[in-house]
Structures are given as C-alpha cells and as structure tokens.
Amino acid sequence: GDSVTQMEGPVTLSEEAFLTINCTYTATGYPSLFWYVQYPGEGLQLLLKATKADDKGSNKGFEATYRKETTSFHLEKGSVQVSDSAVYFCALRGMNYGQNFVFGPGTRLSVLP
C-alpha cells in the first residue's frame, strides 16, 4: 500500500538557518502530495501542496518540489524563524475517487533565537 517516510526528528536550528525536512513516498500513479503543519496547541493545517511531477508548492517562505524520479517531496526554507517551531507532516493522497490520506510520522522542529 501507499506509504510516506519522513526524516526522524526532533530538528533544532538557530534562527535564520536553512531548513530541509526530507520526505519520500511509495504510491502507484501520481498522488497529490502535501505538507501539513501543527503549531503548539493547535490542529493541523495545510502548508503547501503539489499535484503533479515537477510542481513546486510554496507558502510562508517554505517550498517543496514534487520529484517523481526520486519519489520525494522535501520541505525547505531558506531562513527559519522562531515562529516556525512546529511539527511538520508529509502526506499523500492517490488520484482516484475514494482514496484515503496517508501521513508520515511528523518531524518536530524547534528554532532557537
């Protein structure tokens, strides 16, 4: 079945550092790919998404590119802020009607001032 693998956390960075959180997936066809973010004490919210190969999703300075050849969707940000401290989840959903969402285990990011 479909699956998502994320790098193990927690990740601790200093403010203004470069961030990469790796995400790879296993799925048939061309699933839609998502990054969700969960800030402390809140529910998950969509950060960005991509729906086909070579698409780049971007939001709030974060970017991720849908790489079909490497089945990856790595999350990047050039300069993190303390306010980016959160848990980040990579997820996918197959293209066909009635597909379930599949989530990775989440990566906790802490940004220090």
Partner 1 sequence: EAQVTQNPRYLITVTGKKLTVTCSQNMNHEYMSWYRQDPGLGLRQIYYSMNVEVTDKGDVPEGYKVSRKEKRNFPLILESPSPNQTSLYFCASSFAGGRAGEKLFFGSGTQLSVL
Q: Exactly one of 25, 27, 32, 84 binds partner 1 (CB under 8 A); which one? A: 32
Give the Å distances, CA to CA, from 41 to 36, 63, 83, 95.
Answer: 15, 24, 14, 32
Q: Which stretch binds partner 1 (CB under 8 A): 17-25, 69-77, 78-86, 104-112?
A: 104-112
Does the footprint of partner 1 cover residue 12 (CB under 8 A)? no
Does the footprint of partner 1 cover residue 1 (CB under 8 A)? no
Cα(103)–Cα(113) distance, integer angstroms: 30
Tell me the torsion sign for CA atoms 27, 32, 36, 42: negative
Give the binding site for partner 1 (CB under 8 A): 32, 34, 36, 42-46, 49-52, 89, 91, 93-101, 103-106
